C-alpha cells in the first residue's frame, strides 16, 4: 500500500474509534441523563460540599427512567443532575435533581447574577420563551399561580412571580412560564420512547449568593418535592404517571437508577408513613442504634433528601452519636478540618474498626448506615466523619433541630417514594443492576430499567484515552509494515 492509502485507512479508523467514545444513545420510559454535579473533586475543598448542602435545601404512561451519573462521595461528587430537552425546537438544559424542593426552574436570558460558566464540562444554556414555538408566560390569575404563589395585587395578564431562598442566603427569583419538555418513557425491557409533556416552570431572572457564583454551576434545579408545583405532580395531574418515584444511588461505582413509576422488583416489604402536611419527605424517627446499642434520644422528625450530600442531626443527637463512635477508637487524634469536618488518621479497615449506625422509624422500619458510608477518605490514611451538627447547617442556626438524611445514608439502597399511599420505603440493593417497573396494571406488565452512569459518558477518561492511543499506534505500525 502507498502512504496515501495508509493515511486514509488510519484516518477512517481514528474517526470510527472516536465516534465509539462520544456517541450517546438515548432510550426509554421517561428518562433523564443524570450526572453528579461535582463529577471530579479537583480544585474543590471539603467546605464546598458543606456549602452545597446549605443552599439547596386505566392505562398510564407510568414509568420514566432518569439516567444517573456521579456518586455521593463528598471528595468526588456531591449532587446529581440530569439533562432536559425543553421547548420547540428542543434545547438541552442541565438541571440538578432535588427531592427537597418543589419547582423546576431554569436560568433565563438576561438573568442578573446567573452563572455564565461551569467547571463540570457542560455549556451553560439560558432559556428564552420567545425562542420556543410552544413557550409562553404564565399569568398571575391562572390556576397554577393561584394555587402555588397567590398574591393580593394580581391583575389579569400580570406575570406569575416566584422566589426561592436557601439556607446560606442564596436566592433565585423570576416568573413562571409553560413549555413542552421531552421525556423518555419506558416502553419495554431496557427500552424507551419519547413523550412530550407541557410543564410550568420557573424562569430565573435574578440570582444571588452561591447559586450565581459556584464553579460547579448547572442550568437550574428540578424539584421532585410533594407540592402541586413539582414536575411529578404536574405529570400526575394529567394522568401521565402515578405519583411514585424511586432512586438507587450507587455508592460503589457511581451513577445508579432514578425512575418514575411503581417498582415491582425488588419488593419493598416495609414502609414508614410520611408525616401528613409536611413540606418535605418527613418521617418519624423513633431512635438510633450505634453498634447495636440504643442511644438515649427523643423521637423526632427526619427529612429524607437525596439532594443533600451529608447527614445532619440535632445538636444533642449529634453529640451523643459522635461520643459513641469515638468510644470504639479512644486513641484517635481527632482534628477539625476547615472548621467543619472531624478527621483522623487510620490505617485499618474502617468497617471493622467502627460501628454500624441504624436509624429506627415508625412501623418498625430501619435504615442501616455502614462505616464506609459515613466515613469518607480524603487521603490514603486520612478519613473524615460525614455526620454534621444541623445547628451549623444554616448561618442563623435555624436548622438546629433538623434531622436531614442525605446521600450519605441513602446510597446502595433502593428508595421508593409513594406519594399516593403517603409512604416511603427502602431496601439494600445493588444499584449497578436493574429494577422492574409496572407498566400497565391491568395485565401486570413489568419492564426492566438498568442503572446508568453518565458521569463519563461524554468525557474520555485517562484509561480509555491511553487504550485508544495504543490502538492507533499499533494499527499505524501494522499498516506501515504492510
Residues known to be catalytic? 98, 305
Cell output for 255:
451513577
Residues 6+ positions from 57 with CB-CB distance below 8 Å: 100, 166, 167, 305, 307, 308, 393, 399, 404
User: Counting Cβ atoms within 10 Å, is residue 456 exposed (0-12), middle (13-18) or buried (19+)?
Assistant: middle
DSSP 8-state code for residue 210 = H
The 3-state DSSP composition of the chain as helix, strand, coil percent (nearest 5) reads 20, 35, 40
| DSSP secondary structure of 295-311 | -----EEEEE-TT-SSE
Residues 6+ positions from 192 with CB-CB distance below 8 Å: 26, 27, 28, 29, 30, 31, 65, 184, 185, 186
In the block, residue with C-alpha cell 443552599: 55
**Angle CA(228)–CA(230)–CA(231) in degrees, nearest 5?**
120
Cell output for 208:
444571588
Cell output for 11:
484516518
- Residue 194 neighbours by CB distance under 10 Å: 16
3-state SS record for 108-164: EEEEECCCCCCCCCCCCCCECHHHCCCCEECECCCHHHHHHCCCCCCCCCCECEEEE
Single out the residue of 481, 331, 337, 305 nearest to residue 402, CA to CA.
305
Residues 6+ positions from 7 with CB-CB distance below 8 Å: none
**Angle CA(103)–CA(217)–CA(23) in degrees, nearest 5?**
95
- Residue 90 neighbours by CB distance under 10 Å: 17
Amino acid at each position: 500500500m502507498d502512504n496515501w492509502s495508509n493515511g486514509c485507512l488510519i484516518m477512517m479508523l481514528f474517526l470510527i474509534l472516536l465516534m465509539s467514545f462520544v456517541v450517546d444513545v438515548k432510550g426509554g420510559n421517561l428518562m433523564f441523563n443524570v450526572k453528579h454535579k461535582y463529577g471530579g473533586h479537583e480544585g474543590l475543598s471539603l467546605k464546598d460540599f458543606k456549602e452545597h448542602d446549605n443552599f439547596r435545601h386505566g392505562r398510564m404512561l407510568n414509568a420514566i427512567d432518569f439516567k444517573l451519573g456521579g456518586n455521593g462521595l463528598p471528595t468526588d461528587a456531591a449532587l446529581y443532575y440530569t439533562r432536559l430537552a425543553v421547548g420547540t425546537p428542543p434545547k438541552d438544559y442541565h438541571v440538578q435533581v432535588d427531592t427537597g424542593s418543589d419547582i423546576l426552574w431554569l436560568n433565563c436570558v438576561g438573568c442578573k447574577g446567573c452563572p455564565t460558566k461551569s467547571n463540570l464540562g457542560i455549556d451553560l444554556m439560558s432559556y428564552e420563551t420567545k425562542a420556543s414555538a410552544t413557550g409562553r408566560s404564565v399569568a398571575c390569575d391562572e390556576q397554577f399561580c393561584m394555587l402555588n404563589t397567590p398574591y393580593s395585587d394580581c391583575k389579569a395578564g400580570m406575570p406569575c412571580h416566584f422566589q426561592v431562598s436557601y439556607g446560606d442566603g442564596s436566592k433565585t427569583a423570576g416568573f413562571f412560564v409553560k413549555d413542552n419538555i421531552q421525556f423518555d418513557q419506558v416502553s419495554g425491557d431496557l427500552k424507551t420512547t419519547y413523550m412530550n409533556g407541557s410543564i410550568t416552570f420557573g424562569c430565573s431572572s435574578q440570582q444571588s449568593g452561591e447559586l450565581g457564583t459556584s464553579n460547579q454551576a448547572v442550568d437550574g434545579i428540578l424539584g421532585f418535592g410533594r407540592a402541586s408545583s413539582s414536575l411529578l405532580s404536574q405529570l400526575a395531574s394529567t394522568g401521565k404517571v402515578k405519583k411514585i418515584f424511586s432512586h438507587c444511588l450507587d455508592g460503589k461505582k457511581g451513577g445508579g437508577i432514578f425512575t418514575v413509576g411503581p417498582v415491582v422488583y425488588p419488593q419493598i416489604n416495609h414502609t414508614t408513613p410520611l408525616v401528613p402536611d409536611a413540606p418535605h419527605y418527613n418521617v418519624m424517627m423513633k431512635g438510633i442504634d450505634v453498634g447495636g446499642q440504643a442511644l438515649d434520644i427523643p423521637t423526632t422528625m427526619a427529612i429524607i433528601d437525596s439532594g443533600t450530600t451529608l447527614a445532619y442531626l440535632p445538636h444533642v443527637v449529634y453529640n451523643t452519636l459522635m461520643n459513641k463512635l469515638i468510644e470504639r477508637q479512644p486513641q484517635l487524634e481527632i482534628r477539625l478540618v476547615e472548621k467543619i469536618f472531624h478527621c483522623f488518621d487510620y490505617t485499618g479497615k474502617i468497617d471493622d474498626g467502627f460501628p454500624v449506625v441504624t436509624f429506627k422509624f415508625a412501623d418498625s422500619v430501619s435504615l442501616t448506615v455502614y462505616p464506609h458510608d459515613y466515613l469518607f477518605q480524603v487521603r490514603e490514611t486520612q478519613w473524615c466523619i460525614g455526620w454534621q451538627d444541623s445547628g451549623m447547617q444554616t448561618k442563623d442556626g435555624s436548622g438546629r433541630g433538623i434531622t436531614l438524611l442525605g446521600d450519605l445514608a441513602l446510597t446502595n439502597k433502593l428508595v421508593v417514594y409513594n406519594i399516593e399511599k403517603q409512604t416511603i420505603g427502602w431496601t439494600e440493593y445493588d444499584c449497578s443492576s436493574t429494577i422492574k417497573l409496572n407498566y400497565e396494571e391491568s395485565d401486570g406488565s413489568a419492564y426492566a430499567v438498568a442503572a446508568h452512569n453518565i458521569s463519563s459518558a461524554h468525557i474520555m477518561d485517562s484509561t480509555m484515552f491511553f487504550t485508544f492511543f495504543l490502538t492507533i499506534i499499533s494499527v499505524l505500525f501494522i499498516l506501515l509494515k504492510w
